[in-house]
Amino acid sequence: MIQRTLFQKGLLLILALGLLTSGSIASAESPEGTSRFFSPPPEDSIPSGPFGDLVRKGERIFTQTRKYAHPYVGNDLTCESCHLNRGRKAYSAPLWGAYVLYPRYRKKNHRVNTLEDRIRGCFRFSMNGMPPPSDSETIKALVAYSFWMSRGAPVGEKLTGRGMINLESPKRTPDPFSGKKVYAARCALCHGLHGQGRKSHGETAFPPVWGARSFNQGAGLFKVSKLAGFIKMNMPLSKGDSLTDQEAWDVAAYIDSQPRPKKP
């Protein structure tokens, strides 16, 4: 008898929700936001033919780096781990913002760098791997992908949303102890209490943020200021810009105080 009424309750609920879906809810939606950033061409506009094939190959390498560029990868990250939405998201050093600025001078190695050099740098440090030769298919595909994505962007211009954000200097010196608390509350759910990341059926789902399988000490994110800027705009995933600047500095200081592979 009790079960009977419960079943009826369940059915009523479904009906009620059904009504809701068809009616009032539609009006609660906000229109699709217009973007203040450069919009790269949509993915379904990649042309067919050899150029399109190279672009698609670049996209695959970018999102499944270990699978498609195996010999050059030394950790559990992909290019997309730091360049979100397949290299499209503003303030995660999007490819459309990068392509139009190279070749350019970099203080880090005191010379004019090509895009190829820059990508090889990310392999060496961020992916803790072996840089592919400049004339390899891997580099050609990644350059083609970047070129295609910047179609329509003004050459030589620093576009809004390019690179990562430079946070203002913190009011108080970044403090790993406060950072540890932020990490436990806002990051450990996905990246694990020990920074190890999480797997789903054997595949990396959330990348490790420190330890042997993360980026090495030569990587851009090993600089607390760079990491703080990345975190501020991109983390927790889908909740970018929800930490205070100080929290971003503190948690960056904590993460960069943890062990990781040495600079090669």
Residue 175's Cβ-side half-sphere holds a number of Cα atoms within 13 Å equal to 9
Say how far residue 205 (Cα) sits from the centre of its chain: 13
Residue closer to another protein, measured from CB, 4 or 171: 4
Residue closer to ligand HEC, measured from CB, 167 or 231: 231
* Residue 156 C-beta: closest distance to another protein, Å: 26
* Residue 234 C-beta: closest distance to ligand HEC, Å: 7
**199 φ/ψ angles, rounded to the nearest 5 degrees:** -115, 155
Between β-strands 203-206 and 198-200, what pairing exists: parallel, antiparallel or unpaired?
A: antiparallel
| Total of chain residues touching ligand HEC, rule CB under 6 A | 48
DSSP string, 148-210: HHTTTPPTT---TT-S---PPPPSS---HHHHHHHHHHHTHHHH-TTS--EEETTEEEE--SS
Assess 10 for contact with ligand HEC (CB under 6 A): yes
Q: Partners of 105 in the beta sheet?
A: 112
- Amino acid identity of residue 213, one-letter, is R
Assess 7 for contact with another protein (CB under 8 A): yes
Q: Residues 103-142: x/- map of binding to ligand HEC (CB under 6 A)?
A: ------------x--xx--xx--xx--------------x
Interface residues toward ligand HEC, by CB under 6 A: 6, 10, 65, 77, 79-84, 93, 95, 97-98, 115, 118-119, 122-123, 126-127, 142, 162-164, 186-187, 189-191, 206-209, 214-215, 219-221, 226, 231, 235-238, 243, 251, 255
